[in-house]
Structure 1
């Protein structure tokens, strides 16, 4: 925050050269991707893990943390073909946004290679997409309940009509869509350089003009196991604002995990710089 005076009060706590030519442009033949995987794609239904196989802290698995990575050596052909249909891979995920139906994939692919060459782990925060570069990072928000997760796209799919993204079992669990099997979502690509929180790792959980509302939220957070909740008072042109914050956190993984847990509780936490 750069405007106003802040007081921290502890209240109980690749460009190329174009050549002129009359010849038609070269169009590479699509790469045919073998997606049968010993018949797993032919199965009409995926399988969830047995309850004994599910980690007890499934909903506490932290979101993927966006970071700069090179493009995967496999899975990034400019065009590819699956089941006789041609798909094109984007040059970049910049400004990508999409809405549609999300589904999830689980046990029948668990332990097998993804399109990027990595091994699919249904307990990691990953996803499959038809056109985003591999890897990419996206925020997936379920539109009918507001829940949101950050996943790393490292696979191709889904190739069923009407679906825009396949989420890992863990990601689907955090969006509460395992039973339904699919849900309406919005996908927003994240820029790893812009998605890194400030070095202080402070999380704003709520902001109010009314100080009593801020105190109530602080006490609620304390009761929920966050005794470090504090209120930051900001004097600005809009008047006095009371920001309920948690932090600072020195480890980005810890901060991202907390942000995800708060989102699961219905909050909309955001990074701030006190």
Structure 2
């Protein structure tokens, strides 16, 4: 009888140890896989994330197709997130005076679990499953349309953070935005970033301050660079830059629309024909040599109730 009882106690102990090991293995299998996402927000440079040397994403790809784009809306800009200038890793950055004509092509990266739930540059909590992004010089918040140049996929994100501070990268995206663009596996992607200005948005506060400074300079008898005719190098846009305002399947409709728009603009209006089989007649304004003339054209378009225009190259 004693031997039977002893044997029973041994079996229960072994079973308990086996269950504990299974629970431990199951917990490990549910831990996010630590793979380098390629992302790097400004937050990573402050030494605030002890024990999180590398960023990582989900163990398996998560379909983010159900996550909607950020909806551009007017938001007051505060000091939070808009320190100007600011310095990171020994380099000083200056925010844009007027972002309304901003468009740029380059590399996008993304950031994930390392920063998830941490504070962004304007004090919000980073949510890797929402449509947000980080940019070095756009005012916070801003809205941009990001297009993957390799597959044509496009998303709209809200900029609420600073970064990326790796050379050669122009924007850091949330996991959700990167997954929808198809760049999470590679870590980076070739993109075009274009500002999206909400309807009714007043002049950017940085541009307002610049105007006030210009007025003060005039009172003091100082000639500004703009008055001296010195063009800013950063104001130039790539050769063959246009604003596309409509597309038609019938050539006569495209010509009629172009003629009506042409009367109200001081810029050329042209029709670009897409190749068969899906033949389209695309109405475009341009070409533009600099961002300011492109913004002037947008202002003229708004006066005739054409509020949607997209930057294209041909």
Structure having the higher Rg? 2
1:106 equivalent in structure 2: 112
1:48 equivalent in structure 2: 57
Could you tell me how far apart the structure 2 residues matched to 1:85 and 1:39 are? 23
1:142 equivalent in structure 2: 148
Unaligned runs of 5+ in 2: 1-43, 202-246, 258-306, 309-314
SS in structure 2 at match of 1:100: strand
The 8 Å contact of residues 248 and 254 in structure 2, kept in 1 or not, is answered as no
- Is 1:162 equivalent to 2:173 in the alignment? no
Cα deviation for residue 35 of structure 1 reads: 2.9
1:76 equivalent in structure 2: 82
1:20 equivalent in structure 2: none
Unaligned runs of 5+ in 1: 1-32, 196-205, 211-233, 239-269
More strand by share: 1
TM-score (norm 1): 0.57
Cα deviation for residue 37 of structure 1 reads: 2.3
2:47 equivalent in structure 1: 36
Could you tell me how far apart the structure 2 residues matched to 1:235 and 1:186 are? 27
1:92 equivalent in structure 2: 98
More helix by share: 2
The 8 Å contact of residues 81 and 87 in structure 1, kept in 2 or not, is answered as yes
Could you tell me how far apart the structure 1 residues matched to 2:50 and 2:164 are? 15
Q: 1:59 to 1:72 in 2, by over 3 A?
A: farther
Could you tell me how far apart the structure 2 residues matched to 1:150 and 1:82 are? 27
Q: 1:237 to 1:128 in 2, by over 3 A?
A: closer
SS in structure 2 at match of 1:103: strand
Cα deviation for residue 237 of structure 1 reads: 3.9
SS in structure 1 at match of 2:76: coil
The 8 Å contact of residues 66 and 137 in structure 1, kept in 2 or not, is answered as yes
The 8 Å contact of residues 116 and 128 in structure 2, kept in 1 or not, is answered as yes
The 8 Å contact of residues 74 and 200 in structure 2, kept in 1 or not, is answered as no
Cα deviation for residue 78 of structure 1 reads: 1.2
Count of residues in correspondence between the two structures: 177
The alignment yields a C-alpha RMSD, in angstroms, of 3.4
2:181 equivalent in structure 1: 175
Q: Could you give the per-residue CA deviations for residues 135-193 of structure 1, whole angstroms, max 9, x where no partner exists?
A: 00000111111111100000000011111100000000010001110011111111101
Could you tell me how far apart the structure 2 residues matched to 1:98 and 1:88 are? 17
Could you tell me how far apart the structure 1 residues matched to 2:104 and 2:153 are? 16
Q: Could you give the per-residue CA deviations for residues 96-149 of structure 1, whole angstroms, max 9, x where no partner exists?
A: 111110000011000000001100000100000000000000001111111111
